[in-house]
Amino acid sequence: MNYESTRGSMIKKTGAQAIVQGIAEDKGLYVPECIPALPSEIKDMVGKSYKEIAYEIIGAFFDDFTKEEMDYCINGAYDEKFTASDVVELKEAGGAHFLELYHGKTAAFKDMALSILPYLMTTSMKKEGVRDKVCILTATSGDTGKAALEGFADVEGTEIIVFYPTGGVSQVQERQMVSQEGANTHVFAIRGNFDDAQSGVKKIFNDDDFAAQLAAKGVKLSSANSINVGRLVPQVAYYVYSYVKLVERGVLECGQPMNVVVPTGNFGNILAAYYAKEMGVPINKFICASNDNKVLTDFINTGVYDIRPETRGFRCTNSPSMDILISSNLERLLYLLSGRDGQAVKEWMEKLDKEKVYEVSEPVCEALNGFFGGFSTENDTLSTISRMWAENGYLMDTHTAVAYKVYQDYLAQTGDKTPTVIASTASAYKFAESVASAIGIGSCEDGFAYVSALAETTGVAVPYGLRDLDKKPVLHTGVVDAAAMADAVMGALK
């Protein structure tokens, strides 16, 4: 399996090469030259564990890894750091099946892919004979940063630098990042929003002079964001596993479809579901759930991607990990829906960069019919959490609530009773202030007090990675302007 760029470069890479490089030389994103078929029939996967299914799925994409190398990556990633009995949990509540992806060390779904990425990265470096130090450069809207820091902390041959928007993450998320230990970890708040951080990271990746300066220091850049195909591919296993479990439980018979709902900001998680369908998982509808920053909802419904300031303002919401206007992984979907037309994708991405708007072709619009786009306001999100807790005793975070609200809207509009899996992306305790408010807990002193109050009121256990977080010392205090991100990177690597 080789990998090619979404923007038309003819230079192909192996899986290991694509993982190490992160982004293609023409600034496109790496995609597999074909989506592999499921390596086993669904009926033959029934009864298998998450690790066993992940091994098959990830191995199908990265077939340049030997069995021993893939065993090393899977076993190292999905170990006792996950408290769920089978790494993840699939729970039924309110007429849907919630795939709880947050039972890892940082209490968010990013643990699932970012636990394995360091293993994939270091194995790839050895396979390719990379002697340079690899600097993992990442922008985060809250969860990717901590999971990446946790995964790469003190990993030999790497440095990791994370940028997050000051005031744009929850207090719990921020303390998770700024208290991170590890001699190779570096964390900076930027004055701006997530899109500023993400654009700044992309600008650094696209700066050939900067790359030459780093090369002179024996350093090369790579990414832990889902622009790195090594971060994206492990997510495909979520949806294969979900379907297998629904068959195993008798909810579905093999061949019957399921629907998938994903709270979406950067589009990687829902793109992984699309890859799962292309592999052979029967998925009927991809339900893309946005918050008030509903650029994806509007795009799915119109074919126009528009982030012009006069058209759309950026909103800071109670689901901050989705406060994103530039959804990087959409580029990968457009590449597939356009028939792998790299030139068209390049033109659309250049228009987005320069004009802040583009419109896709009619065939791509028609291909988007497999997606349903909806959004949830902040008030709707809170009321959804409240109702779910009162009626079902199920506690959701704000992002999962966005997904459930949009699913309810989809049901009301379509009447489609297809069994549905909702990606539950974070523990409620990551956003304790909003969740506590939703279920009627009064004002508390700070985000950490809300964690205690939420636990006392609900009896739901606080994830082990969030306990006593307020007592951890702040180790990273840097705050920079978006324009100074490259200087911060260079300074961190001295």
Tokens of 196: 């500023």
291 half-sphere exposure, CB direction, 13 A CA radius: 24
Contacts of 82-89 with CB under 8 Å at 24 or more apart are 82/111, 83/463, 83/464, 86/49, 86/50, 87/49, 87/50, 87/51, 87/112, 88/50, 88/112, 88/238, 88/241
Domain spanning 89-107+232-430, CATH architecture: 3-Layer(aba) Sandwich (3.40)
Per-residue pLDDT of 56-68, as tens digits, reads 999 999 999 999 9
Among the residue ranges 8-17, 177-186, 202-211, 401-410, the one predicted with the least confidence is: 202-211
Q: Strand order of the sheet with strand 283-290?
A: 89-93, 96-100, 420-424, 258-263, 283-290, 371-375
Distance separating alpha carbons of residues 326 and 7, to the nearest angstrom:
17
In this structure, what DSSP letter does residue 463 have? P
Tokens of 49: 């564990």
**H or E, element range at 260:** strand 258-263
Among the residue ranges 176-180, 204-208, 392-396, 433-437, the one predicted with the least confidence is: 204-208
**H or E, element range at 190:** strand 185-191
- Among residues 368, 226, 260, the alpha carbon closest in space to that of 304 is found at 368
- On the question of pLDDT at 226 being above 90, the answer is no
* Residue-level pLDDT at 102: 97
Distance separating alpha carbons of residues 217 and 202, to the nearest angstrom:
20
Per-residue pLDDT of 359-385, as tens digits, reads 999 999 999 999 999 999 999 999 999
Distance separating alpha carbons of residues 441 and 421, to the nearest angstrom:
29
* Residue-level pLDDT at 146: 93
In this structure, what DSSP letter does residue 462 have? P
Tokens of 138: 């990442």
- On the question of pLDDT at 460 being above 90, the answer is yes
* Residue-level pLDDT at 143: 85
Q: What is the three-class DSSP state of 186? A: strand
Distance separating alpha carbons of residues 78 and 355, to the nearest angstrom:
43
Per-residue pLDDT of 77-126, as tens digits, reads 999 999 999 999 999 999 999 999 999 999 999 999 999 999 999 999 99
Tokens of 62: 């990265």
- On the question of pLDDT at 38 being above 90, the answer is yes
* Residue-level pLDDT at 225: 82
Burial of 480 (0-12, 13-18, 19+ CB in 10 A): buried
Tokens of 29: 């994103």
Distance separating alpha carbons of residues 171 and 220, to the nearest angstrom:
32
257, 282 in Cβ contact below 8 A?
yes
Query: What pLDDT band is residue 130 in, cutting at 50, 70 and 90?
Result: very high
414, 447 in Cβ contact below 8 A?
no
Tokens of 190: 């930027």
66 half-sphere exposure, CB direction, 13 A CA radius: 6
In this structure, what DSSP letter does residue 192 have? S
211, 221 in Cβ contact below 8 A?
yes
**Sequence ranges of the domains in the chain:** 89-107+232-430
Tokens of 124: 């790839």
Per-residue pLDDT of 238-257, as tens digits, reads 999 999 999 999 999 999 99
Measured in whole angstroms, the distance separating CA 84 from the mean position of its chain's CA atoms is 20
For every residue of 110-167, which 3-state class applies, written as one string?
Answer: HHHHHCCHHHHHHHHHHHHCCCCEEEEEEECCCHHHHHHHHHHCCCCCEEEEEEEECC
Angle (CA) 313 314 315, round 5°? 115
Per-residue pLDDT of 132-159, as tens digits, reads 999 999 999 888 899 999 999 999 999 9
Measured in whole angstroms, the distance separating CA 193 from the mean position of its chain's CA atoms is 17
Mean pLDDT of 419-428: 97
* Residue-level pLDDT at 494: 78
Tokens 């893309």 belong to 288
Per-residue pLDDT of 443-453, as tens digits, reads 999 999 999 99
Q: What is the Cα Rg of the chain in Å?
A: 21
In this structure, what DSSP letter does residue 407 have? H
pTM for the predicted model, two decimal places: 0.94
- On the question of pLDDT at 305 being above 90, the answer is yes
Tokens 């992160």 belong to 22
Q: Which amino acid is at 351?
A: K
> What's the chain's average pLDDT?
96
DSSP for 342-389, written as a single string: HHHHHHHHHHHHHHSEEE--HHHHHHGGGEEEEE--HHHHHHHHHHHH
